């Protein structure tokens, strides 16, 4: 309330400003199948790329691919996510090495 305004009494009415109608359309569900994920769970990596769980952890330990564990502090378990970009880069490196005849 401004300094020169008087408080409203019980019988006074409040002026309501007219509002404009909304110009936005209602939200519609989109097609998410065309969006490539940035991160995948372990089982999704196995299904899409055929890389088993043990190999994922081994490659991460060697620094070949990137992954992170999302876990609430104090919780026993969490959610392991793998970077799709790092997996694709690793596969591309392996394909280039195979084409050159070099083992890595």
Q: What is the pLDDT of residues 47-104, one digit of tens each?
A: 999 999 999 999 999 999 999 999 999 999 999 999 999 999 999 999 999 998 866 5
Higher pLDDT among residues 14 and 55, named by residue: 55
Distance CA 80, CA 66 (A): 11
The pLDDT value recorded for residue 33 is: 72
Q: Is the pTM of this model over 0.75?
A: no
Report the run of H or E that residue 74 belongs to, with start and end: none
The pLDDT value recorded for residue 94 is: 94
Distance CA 96, CA 9 (A): 81
């Amino acid at each position: 309330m401004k300094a020169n305004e008087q408080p409203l009494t019980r019988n006074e009415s409040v002026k309501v400003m007219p509002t404009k109608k909304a110009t936005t359309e209602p939200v519609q569900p989109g097609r998410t199948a065309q969006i490539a994920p940035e991160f995948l769970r372990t089982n999704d990596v196995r299904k899409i790329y055929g890389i088993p769980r043990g190999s994922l952890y081994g490659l991460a330990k060697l620094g070949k691919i990137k992954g992170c564990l999302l876990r609430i502090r104090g919780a026993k378990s969490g959610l392991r996510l793998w970077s799709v970009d790092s997996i694709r880069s690793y596969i591309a490196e392996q394909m280039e090495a195979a084409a050159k005849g070099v083992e890595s």
